[in-house]
């Protein structure tokens, strides 16, 4: 069998594996209300302002939008790019993401009510309480530009921002390549408000994704997406600087958010089945797939199959990595679970709605 034919067969097997119907963790999948979004998709991350208003989400055309519960509609709050030509009115924006922006992680400062944004293409930005155009904060660290700024969390006591750059080689629209190629150019970073300096905390990471601080700020956790695990990085105590595995997961983790009931909600984009494990164990095979099939085709096929599979999952884990709760919904491409009051708000990378589930 020629190498090209072998790679083509592997591609078919991979995508076939991704649409296998999976059984829910806890029996019947739970029901969820969809809050529709018009002319955009992918409410990746969810945030509430210091007054409790929202939720706010970033969507595929570079906007930050805010849900007005009393009016049952979304309103525009801000954008991550000033160049808006051709950005509005298109649900899928992959070809213009680098122009329009693609806000991923978002988080409010409780002290200033500023919204901080990790935009996949524009870097780390700040949006004032009145909204409008976001102000760039930083776009590089150690002279290396951010290629895939992904998620962030804020230490509310001193304003420090911890965030991830998922790859120094691939951009968000080629996120499948980050996994298939075995790329290890991701970084964990810290921005300090006082000095306005960016510090690189960790390098050589495999698709670092969601990040969240512990309740006391002594450590943070972040998603090691390629390897389906959550890593813990100690910030204080005698263990400061130590990196360790906190939890091994059954799927590819995306964003992480601290739960007010304790621990962290980890959203998983999809489950990791055996054939995927085999492919990822051989980076040459993954790079062969990328060489043989255009990345845009692979990404589009994966997106379509994720929607056909139609189920998503999340886990709430303790600060020691113990599974506290599992959640399975009829919702594909789950990206985040944000707990607020008696509801879970559930984001995704490619669906035209935000999920809302009553606890």
Residue with more model confidence, 153 or 86: 153
Residue 178 within a domain = yes
Give the Cα separation of 283 and 226 in Å (integer).
12
Tell me which H or E stretch contains 57. strand 56-58
Mean pLDDT of 48-75: 96
Which residues contact residue 189 at a Cβ distance below 8 angstroms, ignoring those fewer than 6 apart?
A: 141, 162, 163, 164, 165, 198, 199, 200, 201
Which residues contact residue 66 at a Cβ distance below 8 angstroms, ignoring those fewer than 6 apart?
A: 53, 54, 55, 56, 74, 75, 76, 77
Give the Cα separation of 234 and 147 in Å (integer).
25
Give the Cα separation of 310 and 293 in Å (integer).
25
Percent of the chain at pLDDT > 90 equals 69
- The structural domain count of the chain equals 1
Residue with more model confidence, 11 or 102: 102
- Number of neighbours of residue 345 by Cβ within 10 angstroms: 25
Using one digit for the tens of pLDDT, what is the confidence trace for 319-356? 999 999 999 988 878 999 999 999 999 999 989 999 99
From residue 328, alpha-carbon distances to 28, 148, 212, 267, 315 in Å are 8, 28, 22, 10, 9
Give the Cα separation of 201 and 242 in Å (integer).
11
Using one digit for the tens of pLDDT, what is the confidence trace for 145-167? 999 999 999 999 999 999 999 99
Give the Cα separation of 294 and 106 in Å (integer).
31
- The least confident of 14-28, 32-46, 287-301 is 14-28
Most confident of 93-107, 119-133, 174-188: 119-133
Residue 103 within a domain = yes
94: pLDDT strictly greater than 50: yes
Q: Which CATH number covers residue 121?
A: 2.120.10.30
63: pLDDT strictly greater than 50: yes
Give the Cα separation of 154 and 211 in Å (integer).
10
Give the Cα separation of 288 and 86 in Å (integer).
35
1: pLDDT strictly greater than 60: no
Using one digit for the tens of pLDDT, what is the confidence trace for 215-265? 999 999 999 999 999 999 999 999 999 999 999 999 999 999 999 999 999
> Tell me, what's the pLDDT at 312?
81
> Tell me, what's the pLDDT at 305?
55
Q: Under a CB-based contact definition with an 8 Å cutoff, are residues 108 and 54 in contact?
A: no
Taking every pair of C-alpha atoms in the chain, what is the biggest distance, in angstroms? 63
Residue located via tokens 């006391």 = 216
Give the Cα separation of 218 and 329 in Å (integer).
32
> Tell me, what's the pLDDT at 273?
58
Residue 16 within a domain = no
Full residue range of the structural domain in which residue 213 is found = 30-273+311-358
Residue with more model confidence, 36 or 24: 36
Residue 89 within a domain = yes
Question: pLDDT category, 86, cuts 50, 70, 90?
Answer: confident
Residue 283 within a domain = no
Q: Tell me the three state secondary structure of residue 307.
A: helix
As a dihedral over the C-alpha atoms of residue 53, residue 55, residue 60, residue 63, rounded to 10 degrees, the angle is 0
pTM score of the predicted model: 0.86
Mean pLDDT of 124-146: 97
Mean pLDDT of 58-86: 95
Token pair, residue 258, equals 């601290």
- Provide the pairing of β-strand 73-79 with 132-133: parallel
Q: Tell me the three state secondary structure of residue 21.
A: coil
Residue with more model confidence, 299 or 61: 61
Give the Cα separation of 45 and 49 in Å (integer).
13
Residue 90 within a domain = yes
Residue 17 within a domain = no
Which residues contact residue 62 at a Cβ distance below 8 angstroms, ignoring those fewer than 6 apart?
A: 79, 80, 81, 84, 87, 93, 97, 100, 101, 102, 103, 119
Residue located via tokens 């601080």 = 213
Residue 201 within a domain = yes
Residue with more model confidence, 38 or 68: 68
């Amino acid at each position: 069998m020629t190498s090209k034919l072998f790679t083509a067969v592997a591609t078919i097997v991979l995508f076939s594996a991704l649409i296998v119907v999976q059984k829910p963790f806890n029996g019947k999948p739970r029901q969820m209300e969809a809050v529709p979004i018009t002319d955009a998709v992918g409410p990746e991350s969810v945030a509430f302002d210091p007054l409790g208003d929202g939720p706010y989400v970033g969507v595929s055309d570079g906007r930050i939008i805010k849900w007005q519960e009393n009016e049952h509609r979304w309103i525009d709050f801000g954008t991550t790019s000033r160049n808006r030509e051709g950005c509005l009115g298109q649900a899928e924006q992959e070809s213009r993401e680098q122009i329009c922006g693609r806000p991923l992680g978002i988080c409010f400062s409780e002290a200033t009510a500023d919204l901080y944004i990790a935009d996949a293409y524009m870097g780390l930005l700040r949006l004032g309480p009145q909204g409008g155009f976001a102000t760039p904060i930083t776009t590089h660290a150690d002279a290396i530009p951010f290629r895939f700024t992904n998620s962030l969390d804020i230490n509310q006591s001193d304003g420090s921002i911890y965030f991830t750059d998922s790859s120094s080689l691939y951009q968000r629209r080629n996120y499948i390549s980050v996994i298939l190629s075995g790329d290890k150019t991701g970084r964990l970073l810290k921005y300090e408000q006082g000095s306005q300096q960016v510090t690189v905390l960790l390098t050589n990471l495999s698709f670092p994704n969601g990040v969240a601080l512990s309740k006391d700020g002594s450590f943070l956790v972040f998603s090691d997406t390629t390897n389906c695990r959550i890593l813990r990085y100690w910030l204080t105590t005698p263990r400061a600087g130590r990196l360790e595995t906190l939890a091994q997961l059954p799927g590819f983790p995306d964003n992480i958010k601290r739960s007010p009931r304790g621990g962290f909600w980890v959203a998983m984009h999809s489950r990791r089945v055996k054939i995927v494990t085999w492919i990822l164990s051989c980076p040459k095979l993954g790079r062969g797939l990328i060489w043989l099939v255009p990345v845009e085709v692979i990404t589009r096929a994966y997106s379509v199959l994720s929607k056909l599979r139609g189920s998503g999952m999340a886990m709430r884990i303790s600060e020691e990595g113990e599974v506290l709760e599992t959640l399975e919904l009829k919702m594909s491409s789950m990206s985040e679970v944000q707990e607020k009051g008696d509801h879970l708000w559930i984001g995704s990378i490619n669906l035209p709605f935000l999920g809302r589930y009553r606890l």
